[in-house]
Structure 1
Amino acid sequence: MAFAYVLVSFSASVVKSPNFSALADKVANGEVSFLPVTVISAILLFILREILEAIKKKRESKRKLFAYKSLLAEELELNLWAQRQLLGIINEIEEQEKDHPDAKYTLVIKETGKEYIQGRDGDQFIFGCPIPPVQDKYYEVFISNIAELDEKLFDLAQSSYEEVRNMAHVRNGLIEGLLADQNDEPYPHDIRKSGFFHYAKNELPDTFDAMNALYVECTGKQLKNFRLR
């Protein structure tokens, strides 16, 4: 069926071409009583060439789309780790508050440049873990190409990564809260009292829902497995 559709489509293109129309007019006016073999051969070769080119382009588009979906899925798995880690940090700090109401949480940057949160109650270390980055590299590189190939995937990618950017904003808010004392910010220096946790817990579930919708479109599966790197 697909081959027949392509054949009909390109046959129609040939019929609509100026050269074919001119030749048809000559046949209709009696100027040419039959189509020369060379003309028929040229028409058939043109149709065949166009069909083969269309098949080639379709296969190339499918390969590109598969690659884009695979890379976006990989990036979503990385962002799932970031989403879970951010929620985990918030839940851990809230759970620690009862036993360590005077704990202080700070940002630590390792020699590798990676950012960590660290919690201490006086000299006692009570909590620490990395704050993973939010990824949008593949989205930024491929979104314009995706727009040309698949409208549905383009729309889902846009809405998903809008929420991913919101998650990046949550991450930045966490880091700003951890640096509030150091930077002498004009809001509570204890991140637990700044209202940040309420905001973050409202935003992060929406991020997952949007990422999951895109992941299903890319892989046919639910977004369950995260990727650390």
Structure 2
Amino acid sequence: MQKAIIDLNVNAIVGIANAGATAEKNQLLLDLPEDFQSADIAEWAYDGKGLVRDPSAFLKQAKSARKARIKLEAAHLIEADDWKLQRAREREAAGWGTLAEVDAALAEREAIRRSSNAAEQAVDALTDAASVQAFVWAVDVAVAAPRRMTHKQFMARFTDAEIQAMLKAFGDNPALRPWWERFTLARDISLDDAVTQNGVQALEAAGLIGKGRAAEVLASGPAAV
């Protein structure tokens, strides 16, 4: 009589063995129920006593197990990427690299997280255990890197004349002074930050930089080191 091969790690049938077969590590051999059909193998589970057929419970169990593996797979991918982030941070700290390199590495890691989250949602939407068990995911959610730069890189986007005009105006213009104070205290500058954008646009409105210069300053592109 054929027997079901039970994987005790997931309490699921992973194969059918002929009479006389022996179980391997973390496996158990059980007689197949009379109503067992190979097409419905994914609906059978081991409950600690015997094989039971419970499609909904097994589907829930399969989803939980697959999502747990997705989390583990994502963690391994991020861990394998640690060296890129460490290298980028060390290069930036030494002055050999830029914040853009750090942000690119951070964006890669965030893409893994968002892709794994999307994968778990996709698993939840599946309606049969076989599809859940066969589900494969990939890092396919694009994440744009933040547009950060140092104070020096940001100020390099202004001309010398503009910088002189700004420095003179900051002491006299109460509307611009708070922005300048926040700028000088910030660890780095994000071109996507609303405070940065509003401040640069205010410089243009005050005539401290030319018309259209705010868009140029805030545009993407290589920053001077």
TM-score (ref. length: structure 2): 0.31
- Select the structure with the greater relative contact order (CA < 8 A; seq sep ≥ 6): 1
Between Structure 1 and Structure 2, which shows a larger proportion of helix residues? 1
